[in-house]
Amino acid sequence: MTATVIDPQVGLRFEFYGEEFEVAFVARGMVRYAATAGGQQHKMPLADFAELARTNKIAVKSESVRRTVHAHNAPALVRKHRYVEAVLRQLPHPTARQALNAVIQQVAAELNDPTPPTDRAVIYWLRAFELHGEQGLLRKRGSGNYALQFDPEVELLINEAIQQIYLKPERSSAVDIRSYVVGKLAESGLCSAFHTDIRVPTLRSIQRRLKQLDPYVVARAQRGELAANRIARAAGRTRRAGALLSVVEMDTHYLDIQVVDPDTGEVLGRPYLTCLFDVCTRAVVGMHISLYPPSAATALAALRDMLTRPNRGLPGGVAIIIVPDNGVEFKNTAFMRVCEALAIILSPAQIRDPNGKAHIERFFYILTRGLIQKLAGTTFSNPVARGDYDSAKHACLTLNQVADLIEQWVNEVYHQTVHSRTGRAPILAWEDLAKEIAPLALSVEDVDALARRPEMRTIQRGRVQVDNIEYFSHALATLETQGLDRVTVLVNDLNLHSVLIQHPAEKDTFILAESTDPEYTVGLDCYMHAESKRIKKSFSQADLKKLGPNANALARARLLEEIRSASQIGKKRLRKLTNGQGRETSASQQQTQMTEAKHRRPSVAGPSQFMPAPELPSPEAVHVGAAEATGSYTAFELEW
């Protein structure tokens, strides 16, 4: 197999490992190419591109448009071809200058060419024709000075200024670059009268140099990668949908309206609308409105609505392909579980790709202009459009009222209006295609059992615990006694009051288990529960921060130390009061002396007959010593 020589001109389309790409820019030894589908930008050195072409790893799909014959270059092609053909036909040695000039004059007379080419130009055409055939005659000889335009010192300063000044987010201009170059030349003394041979670049020269830079590189350095991709990528191929729900776009929109609390009238904020949109008929096939930001739970709620809509006579059912955002919040969730069970293909759109979900973005625009910005409490699109309108002051609609108005507008206005692209009203187009084959629909009970988050738990005393919430069922106690204590708990993130538990042996049987704390879980969803846990955690963290992480252990240690210390002090004081005899001996002696003193009666004869009472410690002293020794009152204290 012969190697293929490919000149990577702008517009060249080629295949590389089965994917199609298009050359977008070639300069300074680099080739930048973009994926035909999606516009993802790539680049490689020109030498690597040539090596891939030489080893036939790159297959040309179509040549660059610049190298095809058109009305502009056809006369020049014919002219060159006539000269080359005459030289090759008449001269055995085409490069012999004398014979070559004679042929050139002959062809010029036949063509009435007022400016015949020079012998050097014809020799160049001959070589190009030998290498590339007729396509080689379309190639322009490199124009301009490919040598250094300025002295090496000036060239280095220009490149340095481009890297350090121009390719920065501050977006400096050509004037700044020239000032930098002139300033550096002045610092080096190259702008003095002794260096008149140093040519200083003009502003026009700097501007021409900047135009030679890759626009993608400039945009990426000045405005970021996303802006550069948006500039370098053209509007891609349109996603075609030939059947109902064959392609469904899914996105969340921040509505331009303030909603209020139905009880207090307090402004709650702007709600989010998660919507599913059928590309084929341009019909809305699923919605969910809430105050919660986009997540797997809100996406699941919209998906549940889409699956059950046919039961209410509305467009919806099981989709084939869903195009959601390219987010990680869908992984390992109930949303993914439903899609896997129903064989729904998820094809995430690229980040900030306007072509990924163009249809639903257009619907959000129509909804905003057609309804949302006409309601009381609207925030409009921006502060300029809002003007002096006080959105919070005029807000009066609740979340349910806004949801009902959107549902009514979609069904009675949008679905009944002829779409400008399809030429059909969405609801009529849906009904006509549904007559041929209607999408699969599920019952509310089936969706409720399917659209749940699975969690593996162990039954303990007829209960299971999920996210710090306990659920009970008498049937669980039976499973536990049977040894089937490891079960799958299906959690509905939008209603945590109850869960479904799949029977370990009978997979089609589900057991309903309710919360043991209904006052907390009635009307509770995953967002409210997460916020509640966060608040509880903040409380505990505040306590730990105030008391220390080892507050309980420290308090217990201090208490034990105080008890031991008080015990030692009490023992020492007791020994001192009892002359080292101890508590029991001293108490026994004191009791004996008190008994004897009670039976004695003093004599009336005189003081000599009176026996003085024994010297005993005061009740206060005994009380202090005993209390410190034991921490409680004793019989000895009560006697006193």
**Residue at token pair 């990668």:** 225
CATH fold for domain 152-232: Arc Repressor Mutant, subunit A (1.10.10)
**Residue at token pair 């610049």:** 66
**Residue at token pair 């820019």:** 25
Whole-number Å distance between alpha carbons of 555 and 587: 35
Q: What is the pLDDT of residues 140-149, one digit of tens each?
A: 544 444 456 7
Whole-number Å distance between alpha carbons of 238 and 216: 24
Listed residue (233, 229, 236) closest to 37, CA to CA: 236
**Side-chain-side CA neighbours of residue 349 (13 Å):** 23
For the chain, what percentages of helix, strand and coil (3-state, to nearest 5) are there? 45, 15, 40
Burial of 162 (0-12, 13-18, 19+ CB in 10 A): buried
Whole-number Å distance between alpha carbons of 21 and 41: 9
Whole-number Å distance between alpha carbons of 462 and 464: 7
Whole-number Å distance between alpha carbons of 113 and 500: 91
pLDDT at 459: 94
Structure token pair of residue 394: 């005029």
Listed residue (290, 297, 286) closest to 273, CA to CA: 290
Q: Which residues touch 504 (CB under 8 Å, ≥6 apart)?
A: 479, 484, 486, 487, 488
pLDDT at 64: 43
Element (H, E) at 206: helix 203-211
Domain ranges of the chain: 13-67, 74-138, 152-232, 248-436, 454-539, 553-597+614-639
Q: Are 100 and 119 in contact (CB under 8 A)?
A: yes
pLDDT at 569: 64
Strand locations in 2-92 (E): 13-16, 19-27, 30-35, 41-45, 58-62
Strand partners, 322: 248, 346
CA distance from start to end of the chain: 120
Listed residue (305, 245, 247) closest to 273, CA to CA: 305
pLDDT at 588: 54
Q: Which residues touch 435 (CB under 8 Å, ≥6 apart)?
A: none
Whole-number Å distance between alpha carbons of 241 and 278: 9
The pLDDT of residue 366 is above 60? yes
Structure token pair of residue 268: 């709650």
The per-residue pLDDT of the chain, averaged, comes to 77
Q: What is the pLDDT of residues 29-60, one digit of tens each?
A: 778 887 776 667 778 888 888 888 878 888 87
Whole-number Å distance between alpha carbons of 88 and 509: 89
CATH fold for domain 248-436: Nucleotidyltransferase; domain 5 (3.30.420)
Mean pLDDT of the 69-85 span = 72
pLDDT band for 256, please (50, 70, 90 cuts): very high
| SS3 category, 96 | coil
The 3 state secondary structure assigned to 68-103 is CCCCCCHHHHHHHHHHHHHHHHHCCCCCCHHHHHHH
pLDDT band for 590, please (50, 70, 90 cuts): low
Q: Is 313 left (phi over 0), alpha (psi -120 to 50) or beta?
A: left
